Amino acid sequence: MALHQGQDKQHPLDLPRVTGVEDLLNGMEQAVPKNQIPPGPLPAAITHQLIRDELLLDGNARLNLATFVTTWMDPQVTELIGECLDKNMIDKDEYPQTAEFERRCVNILADLWHAPDPTQAVGCSTTGSSEACMLAGMALKRRWMQRNREKYDNGTARPNLVMGANVQVCWEKFCNFWEVECRLAPMEGDRFHLDAESALALVDENTIGVVAVLGSTFDGSFEPVKEICDALDALQGRTGLNVPVHVDGASGGMIAPFLDPDLLWDFRLPRVASINTSGHKYGLVYPGVGWALWRDAEALPEELVFRVNYLGGNMPTFALNFSRPGAQVIAQYYNFLRLGRAGYTAVQQASRDVAIRLAEGIAGLGPFRLLTRGDELPVFAFTTADDVTSFDVFDVSRRLRERGWLVPAYTFPENRTDLAVIRIVIRNGFTLDLADMLLNDLARLIPELQAQPSPGTEHGVQPRSGFHH
């Protein structure tokens, strides 16, 4: 509309205020502080948007085939988690029902793992399997010290722990932090994990225990727990040495009970003293929650249990962490109720089916060789075939990332550093449709990779890395 002659043009500052525009403009002009706390506050909406914008640079968790960690849960349990974020797990006197849910989860796991008396199970929640492994290692060392007090006190014996070179790095941390000799059985040829023979070769009178991994993070394979226990039984018969076994079931501890019920790996084997698992892996809970269980009270020395007078109650505690949220424990109990045995079986079987089908599809492409097939953990590893010279697994990993797929490529440890592989982890929510999409993307890349003169030449030589758990 034209202004009448002589009518003043309205000044921009006199225009009606449009709600939120100033905040939007201010937010666009804000520099996000990176090393110092800002001098003053920002509106919550601007703070939220600034952080959300930066997080867009993160990868898509659903396409992350490197992680074992749960990336999807029911919306209802997400709401429950939000309602319980302010509950301190250690404060059992103030939050007795959260403590009761923890107790129920321990008993449920004890029943799944065939503890002698599940109702009298000894165990606790942790922030993850790393803490659970630390607790199990502490119990193994303390039991050995009780049997060898004089030798330990006068420094004539140094405790050691036997495991395969494929163990999660938390076990090496345990040995370092608690001054235990770390005895790693190296990989040899096509043996990529601990077996009875390699374990027995490292055991002596100062061995506090043997760690058997139910689900190697390198390739998804189960270590032969029963064979290891049988070999240690025979050793005790010959020498009198009584060496306990801890099963690191970070992943397999929530797979085998549902998909391989006849596999002997748990408390049905008398030599198994303790087991850990990650609730936030195939326990199907958002991070972070883990579980540590002992077959009975004798396996967990009483001297490791602290009885604390805290906020009006006397409570036992043997976790390393003190204050931590109880929300993930509640989420674990939710899943046990929500899914039940049949639901967990269906979810884990679906993941294994997808893993097997994807592994078979990759093997069928031609240039790749499978190390494992996804028929134990829903995890498998593959490498390039011997006759492939134009590209390697690092090229494949890099090119898949261009399409949004996050798949790790890494070399194996000592004695097999010549072997570089790609590992794929299938979790709840990764469908057959997504598997077919990944397979199609991989098939489209192969001709381009085969056209390279040598590995790493298309975009310059790529850095080769070892395995990061």
| 7 has pLDDT over 80 | no
- Edge-to-edge strand ranges of the sheet holding 181-185: 122-126, 290-294, 272-278, 245-248, 207-213, 160-164, 181-185
Residue 437 lies inside a defined structural domain of this protein: yes
CATH of the domain at 253: 3.40.640.10
How confident is the model at residue 308, as a pLDDT? 64
Give the highest mean pLDDT range of 1-5, 14-18, 96-100, 348-352.
348-352
The per-residue pLDDT for range 39-70, each reduced to its tens digit, is 888 888 888 888 888 888 887 888 899 999 99
Alpha-helical segments (H) within 304-404: 327-364, 393-401
Residue 330 lies in a domain: yes
The mean per-residue pLDDT over the stretch 152-167 comes to 91
**Number of structural domains, the chain?**
2
Report if residue 21 sits inside a domain: no
pTM: 0.88
Asked if residue 138 has pLDDT above 50, the reply is yes
One domain, residues 259 and 322: yes
**Could you tell me how many residues make up the chain?**
469
pLDDT at 458: 58
CA separation for the pair 256, 70 (Å, rounded) = 18
For residues 322 and 358, state if they share a domain.
no
The answer to whether position 96 is within a domain reads yes
304 and 367 in a single domain? The answer is no
**Same domain? 314 vs 387:** no
CA distance 268 to 263: 10
Instruction: Tell me, yes or no, whether 325 and 426 share the same domain.
Output: no
Alpha carbons 1 and 424: distance in angstroms, whole number = 65
Q: Read off the pLDDT band of 463 (50, 70, 90).
A: very low
- Is the pLDDT reported for residue 80 higher than 90? yes
Tens-digit pLDDT profile for residues 355-379: 999 999 999 999 999 999 999 999 9
Q: If we measure between CA atoms, which residue out of 139, 118, 111 comes closest to residue 244?
A: 139
- Given a cut of 80, whether residue 149 has pLDDT beyond it is yes
Residue 70 placed within a domain: no
- The yes-or-no verdict on residue 228 having pLDDT over 50 is yes
Instruction: Please indicate, yes or no, whether residues 279 and 371 belong to a single structural domain of this protein.
Output: no
Last residue of a domain, one of 302, 336, 370: 336
Give the residue-averaged pLDDT of 344-351.
98
85 lies in the same domain as 234: yes
What pLDDT is stored for residue 29 in this prediction?
A: 60
**Rounded to 5°, angle at Cα 104 from 259 and 90:** 120
Neighbours of 409 (CB within 10 A): 22
Instruction: Say which DSSP state 62 is in.
Output: G
Is residue 364 domain-resident? yes
Domain boundary among 310, 336, 362: 336
pLDDT > 80? residue 460: no
CB 249 within 8 A of CB 256: yes
pLDDT tens per residue across span 411-449: 999 889 999 999 999 999 999 999 999 999 999 999 999
pLDDT at 383 over 90: yes
In a domain, 57, yes or no: no
% of the chain residues with pLDDT over 70 = 88
Q: What are phi and psi of 316, to 5 degrees?
A: -85, 145
Which backbone phi and psi does 295 adopt, to 5 degrees?
A: -65, -30
Could you tell me which residues are beta bridge partners of residue 383?
369
Whole-number Å distance between alpha carbons of 148 and 151: 6
Angle, in degrees to the nearest 10, between helices 432-450 and 393-401 = 120
Question: 3-class SS at 278?
Answer: strand
Q: Which of 309, 336, 363 is the last residue of a domain?
A: 336
pLDDT digits (tens, 9 = 90+) for 269-317: 999 999 999 999 999 999 999 999 999 989 999 888 877 665 555 566 7
Read off the pLDDT band of 3 (50, 70, 90).
very low
368 and 322 in a common domain = no
Helices 129-147 and 169-177: crossing angle in degrees, nearest 10, is 40
Asked if 173 and 208 count as a contact pair (C-beta separation under 8 A), the reply is no
Domain, as residue range, for 441: 349-450
Shared-domain flag, residues 319 and 353: no
Residue 95 lies in a domain: yes
Among 93-97, 193-197, 328-332, 360-364, whose mean pLDDT is lowest? 93-97
Q: For position 251, what pLDDT does the model report?
A: 97
Average pLDDT in the 228-251 region?
Answer: 98
Mean pLDDT, all residues of the chain: 89
CATH code, 386: 3.90.1150.160
Please indicate whether residue 277 or residue 461 has the higher confidence score (pLDDT).
277
Q: Are residues 199 and 291 in the same domain?
A: yes
Identify the residue whose tokens are 């078979």.
360
Residue 19 clears pLDDT 80, i.e. is over it: no
User: pLDDT grade, residue 22 (50/70/90)?
Assistant: low
> pLDDT per residue over 84-114, tens digit each?
988 888 777 778 888 889 999 999 999 999 9
Do 391 and 439 reside in the same domain of the chain?
yes
Residues 296 and 387 in one domain: no
Can you point out the beta strands (E) in 244-346? Answer: 245-248, 272-278, 290-294, 306-310, 313-317
Q: What is the pLDDT of residues 397-411, one digit of tens each?
A: 999 999 999 999 999
- CA–CA distances in Å: residue 412 to residues 2, 172, 247: 77, 16, 22
pLDDT value for 91: 74
